[in-house]
């Protein structure tokens, strides 16, 4: 069978589908001071998984606000800088009007994912941290 670390090199998704892969990628991103990119990506996935119903309405609103505040509000943050202005104002509108939709972070997540696929992920595969691991 293919060792996990070789599968990590196939695609970003195969890396993010493995706990050890995530940990190593996160260590690398932390060194580059951009671990927020990965945390935001997972936060978006986790948010989408929360089903809208009466019992968790308050939690979803609180969480949407927390994600917005931590990653999007500060225009100098690593995540915020990679998200298009239109996408940011869409999310801001959703939060302000309390229109909390499971898909409200999807576009932002796609933009961050594309950035990782084109930039941090290929750099990671050439990094000492990955090569030493293999």
Partner 1 sequence: IDSEDDLLQECITSAMPKKK
Is residue 130 a contact partner of residue 124, using CB atoms and an 8 Å limit? yes
Can residue 46 be called a binding residue for partner 1 (CB under 8 A)?
A: yes
Burial of 131 from C-beta contacts in 10 A (0-12 / 13-18 / 19+): exposed
Question: What whole-number distance in Å separates Cα of residue 106 and Cα of residue 133?
Answer: 32
Contacts (CB under 8 A) with partner 1, residues 80-119:
none
CB of 131 vs partner 1, minimal distance in Å: 24
* Closest CB to partner 1 among residues 2, 85: 2
Among 10, 56, 57, 62, binds partner 1 (CB under 8 A): 62
| Locus of tokens 């998704």 | 13
Is residue 127 a contact partner of residue 121, using CB atoms and an 8 Å limit? no
* Site track for partner 1 across 16-45, x = CB under 8 A: xxxx--x----------------x--xxxx
- The piece of 13-21, 81-89, 90-98, 121-129 that touches partner 1 (CB under 8 A) is 13-21
């Amino acid at each position: 069978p293919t060792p996990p670390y070789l599968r990590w090199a196939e695609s970003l998704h195969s890396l993010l589908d493995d706990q050890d892969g995530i940990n190593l990628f996160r260590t690398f991103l932390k060194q580059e001071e951009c671990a927020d990119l990965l945390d935001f990506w997972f936060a978006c996935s986790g948010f989408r998984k929360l089903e809208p119903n009466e019992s968790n309405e308050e939690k979803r609103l609180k969480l949407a606000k927390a994600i917005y505040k931590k990653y999007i509000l500060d225009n100098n943050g690593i995540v915020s800088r990679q998200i298009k202005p239109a996408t940011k104002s869409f999310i801001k509108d959703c939060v302000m009007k309390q229109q909390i939709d499971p898909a409200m972070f999807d576009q932002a997540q796609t933009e961050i994912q594309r950035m990782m696929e084109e930039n941090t992920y290929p750099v990671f595969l050439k990094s000492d941290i990955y090569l030493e691991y293999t």
